[in-house]
Amino acid sequence: MARRRVLLLLKPSDVYPPRPLATSIQTNGDRTISSKILRHLDDRCRAHKETIDHCKSIIERRNLDWELIMRNNLSKSICHVDLVITVGGDGTLLKASHFMDGSVPVLGVNSDPTNDLEVEEMSEEFDATRSTGYLCAATRGNFEQVLDEVLEGKKQPTELSRISLKINGAKVQSCALNDILMAHPCPASVSRFSFRIKKECGETSQLINCRSSGLRVSTAAGSTAAMQSAGGIPMHISMPDLQYMVREPIFPREADIPLMHGFIKPNEGMAISWYSQEGMVYFDGSHVYYKIRHGDVAVRCTSFESIFAE
């Protein structure tokens, strides 16, 4: 029986720059940094490194062909492997998804989960939130058990919707697993665009003309992130629908107000005409983006990614 091929994708362990040891207070120009903050950052680095070492140790004891790559060095499509394991948080898993076509499942490991008691204890001093792992099925504590369940076929991946995009008929290479944001590159500038929902049968909704802060479209997996923060509706992670929201619309027509926020079914797409001189489409945050200009037309549709979810 052929050995399974595994790619271990890691968030860098040197996320924070080197710092002198703090015994009380560090002063940096106009900033005063508490020693508690520095110890917290050091502890985050330690937890992440220990999780990496733990995962490597477990993988080495399995009958697997595996290779390791840092996420910052990922530059080409992930293929010729049977499983991708990401160690970091949702950001590392999302980075991997931009280089995958949905044929290879992903197992995310949250290397430094947030401790609610710590957040509460430090709430008057600083934000002690750690790594977000909504898409991660494992932590250091249960990685061995989850990995064995995956390898033995006891745990099956969930197929999640992704957002693909065409600009003037040309398909954009990246797909978004969480959401995309279409907006002017300057947050203080108005985004001007029109959109309508199109069905496969050819039927279309009315044309909605917008002046706003932009347009966000999320998957079900991304509906609990920025979409929910903006007042959107959380969706079950396996739902195939997309959710959209016009951000801060400027004096919309009364008839258009109900259509500033809605859903796109699997048999539907959204056609957008962009009317600002400049524009950007951001995929899953700020690192992956594409420029659009006046007159460009974008059409969204869905693809899928296989994730081992909790």
> What letters, b where the CB count within 10 A reaches 16 and e where it falls short, cover 236-274?
ebebbbbbbbbbebeebeeeeeebbbbebeeebbbbbbb
CA 146/CA 280 separation, integer angstroms: 39
Count helices and strands in the chain by DSSP H and E runs = 5, 19
Task: Let me know: does 156 contact 164? Beta carbons within 8 Å.
Answer: no
* Catalytic residue (one of 53, 90, 112, 116): 90
Please check whether residue 200 is in contact with residue 267, taking contact to mean a CB–CB distance below 8 angstroms: yes
The yes-or-no answer on residue 90 being catalytic is: yes
The residues near 10 (Cβ < 8 Å, ≥ 6 apart) are: 52, 68, 69, 70, 71, 86, 87, 88, 92
212 strand-pairing partners: 191
- Residues 8 and 70: beta-carbon distance below 8 Å: no
Rounded to an integer, what distance in angstroms lies between the CA atom of residue 51 and that of residue 96?
19
Name the strand (E) or helix (H) holding 97: helix 90-97
Catalytic positions, please? 90
